[in-house]
Amino acid sequence: MRRPASFLPEPPRPGEFKPMDTLNQLAPYLWRWRGRIGAALLCLVAAKVANVWVPLVFKRIIDALTLTPQQALIVVPAALLLAYGLLRFSTSMFTELREILFARVSQGAIQSVALSVFRHVHALSLRFHLERQTGGLTRDIERGNRSIGTLINFAIYSILPTLVEIVLVLGILLHQYEPVYALISALTLAAYIAYTIRVTNWRAVLRRKANELESSASSAAIDSLLNYETVKYFNNEDWEARRYEAQLDAYSKAAVRNQLSLSALNMGQAAIIACGVTAMMWQAAAGVAAGRMSIGDIVLVNAFLIQLYAPLNFLGVLYREIRQAFTDIERMFRLLGTEREIRDAPDAWPLPSGPLDVRFEHVSFAYDPRRQVLEDLSLEIPAGQTLAVVGHSGGGKSTLARLLFRFYDVSAGRILIGGHDLRTLRQDSLRRAIGIVPQDTVLFNDSIFYNIRYGRPDASEEEVFAAARAAQLHDFISALPDGYHTTVGERGLKLSGGEKQRVAIARTLLKNPAILIFDEATSALDSRTEQAIAAQLEAAAVGRTALIIAHRLSTVMNADRIVVLEAGRIVEHGTHAGLLARDGQYAAMWRLQQQEQD
């Protein structure tokens, strides 16, 4: 079923922050590591308990050293000094153990999510990929994967340790000293957290706007570079540069506003912490002057303040980063939650092997409801025979190939292969049985050998060479300095149009499918090469069910049956000789092409 709305994930709206929904989606990827997570949390608590005990032992040492040197040697036992050193080492040891245990958790979760998103994006329909912007989509995926690591690491390495330490410190202050110390600490923490959350929420709108502008600039740059040849053809380098400059200028202004708001947040946080530290030290100094506290007590309070407020000062940055991480992960999970337009039925079965016939029964289809592409079309390709579809551009010829691959589902009617409706078959088995040489060949930025072997990755070298010979490509490749290891460049731009199309032909021949589709397979070739390859294509189609979509009628003369398509309807059908004798549209097209050739 076609979705009317865009497939691209929408950015979160201002004020829309649902961390629990994101955590619930992330939880299954972490649950498999629950043993390691539990062990890491135990190490975390042990490290913080040891860290909090360090100031307590240090206080006793200071109190003992305030005596005379002779008394200190007696009062301060060696065990106390050893305990101090052991606690220091324990803090570092348990912290490192926590990181060792948790390293595989974060990387494993990132890998699992990244692979799930990658598979899901490949499983989405052709309509989604035609509507998407590559730059913005890849940036969303990259940010989402990076933010998972940020969220996990900050939560385990910063947030949870700080919370455990705050609880321990407040408990010790309440137990050993007057309640006013715990009250000052608690009020400072509350004011700091409230201020941070309020200002960060205000900044979230600015940050989101900056990210959207950055993605827009990235998409514009990537789109321009992917269309490098078109830019050169129309001499529009300056136009593209000005367009990119306008995007960068908008992003720069948004980034400056974002930085100014960050400075305001940092100054407010520093003021709150300064007030809390001053109040605590004032109270402690008054206690020492009144004789209620020792020098060791003031050292202990100061040490607790340093341990408490040092990570707390960083907590504001963490909150901002975690808030942004949630936003980025949410965008990626929205992409992961995009429904597949074309999916296998629960009871779908694999396509049986053997000779396969193809039937279109009263098929209607439209990419957009406002423009019908195919209208009540019925045709049949018997197993082992070749059907050619010809007609003017825009008549719906290439749509037949897309429907056969089930990139879309028909609006009405049905398509059968081997007597089975496509919608009842597993897509992987269906597409494994079909090979296509498309009109617009796109190659991977890798070697020629890799691109040919992509048709069947487990093929041997000799099979790859045989497919290249069949496509009249082997001699050309052998003459290259790097031979089959020659890199074809981005989208195959280092090769000519004819060379790219011959690589596509070799790739399809190597796949050796039961059904062959040639969608203007020789359109980019010169007449001599076209004749040579046309003979190879005819040989490849022997014994297979073949659909030839062509504009040049000279390439379909020997087809078992020819169909003339116009505005999504069949207007003529028959053999080459029969259609010429009928003197209809096919005959008119034939005469026109003969005149052009002459």
- Give the CA diameter of the chain: 125
Contacts for 515 with CB less than 8 Å, ≥ 6 apart: 356, 358, 404, 417, 433, 434, 435, 544, 545, 546, 547
Are the C-beta atoms of residues 261 and 203 closer than 8 Å to each other?
A: yes
Q: What is each CA distance from 214 to 248, 261, 327, in whole angstroms?
A: 8, 18, 15
Q: DSSP H helical segments within 227-236, as ranges? A: 228-233
Q: Is 2 helix (H, G, I), strand (E, B) or coil?
A: coil
- pLDDT score at 11: 38
Kind of pairing, strands 386-390 and 374-381?
A: unpaired
- pLDDT score at 491: 73
- pLDDT score at 74: 46
Q: DSSP H helical segments within 454-496, as ranges? A: 461-470, 474-478
CATH number assigned to the domain covering 19-336:
1.20.1560.10
Q: How confident is the model at residue 63 (pLDDT cuts 50, 70, 90)?
A: low
SS (H, E, C) 113-170: HHHHHHHHHHHCCHHHHHHCCHHHHHHHHHHHHHHHHHHHHHHHHHHHHHHHHHHHHH
Q: How confident is the model at residue 165 (pLDDT cuts 50, 70, 90)?
A: confident
CA distance linking residue 293 with residue 280, whole number of Å: 13
Same fold, 19-336 and 438-512: no
Nearest to 148 by CA among 97, 102, 107, 195: 107
Q: How confident is the model at residue 387 (pLDDT cuts 50, 70, 90)?
A: very high
Tell me the pLDDT tens digit for each residue of 517-564. Answer: 988 777 656 667 667 667 767 777 777 899 998 877 878 888 889 999
- Find the mean pLDDT for residues 432-461: 88
Contacts for 368 with CB less than 8 Å, ≥ 6 apart: none
- Find the mean pLDDT for residues 194-202: 80
Tell me the pLDDT tens digit for each residue of 76-109. Answer: 455 555 665 666 676 677 677 777 777 777 777 7
Tell me the pTM: 0.60
Examine the pLDDT at 232 and tell me if it is beyond 50: yes
CA distance linking residue 270 with residue 262, whole number of Å: 12
- Find the mean pLDDT for residues 59-75: 54
**CA 68 remoteness from chain centre:** 68
Are the C-beta atoms of residues 320 and 105 closer than 8 Å to each other?
A: no
- Find the mean pLDDT for residues 448-465: 91
Tell me the pLDDT tens digit for each residue of 105-125. Answer: 777 777 778 788 778 777 776
- pLDDT score at 64: 61
Q: Which residue has the higher pLDDT, 239 or 114?
A: 239
- pLDDT score at 415: 92
Domain boundary assignment for the chain: 19-336, 438-512
Q: Which residue has the higher pLDDT, 345 or 21?
A: 345
Q: How confident is the model at residue 71 (pLDDT cuts 50, 70, 90)?
A: very low
Q: How confident is the model at residue 465 (pLDDT cuts 50, 70, 90)?
A: very high
- pLDDT score at 364: 92
Residue 575 in tokens: 């053999």
- pLDDT score at 15: 43
- Find the mean pLDDT for residues 484-507: 83
CATH architecture of the domain with residue range 438-512: 3-Layer(aba) Sandwich (3.40)
- pLDDT score at 598: 62
Q: How many CB atoms lie within 10 A of CB 29?
A: 18
Torsion of CA 379, 382, 383, 387, to 10 degrees: -60
Question: How many residues in the chain?
Answer: 598
Q: Which residue has the higher pLDDT, 490 or 406?
A: 406
Mean pLDDT of the chain: 79
- pLDDT score at 358: 92
Beta strands in 445-529 (DSSP E): 515-519
The half-sphere exposure of 122 on its side-chain side, counting CA atoms within 13 A, is 7
Tell me the pLDDT tens digit for each residue of 261-315. Answer: 888 888 888 888 788 878 877 887 787 777 777 777 777 776 777 677 666 666 6
- pLDDT score at 449: 93
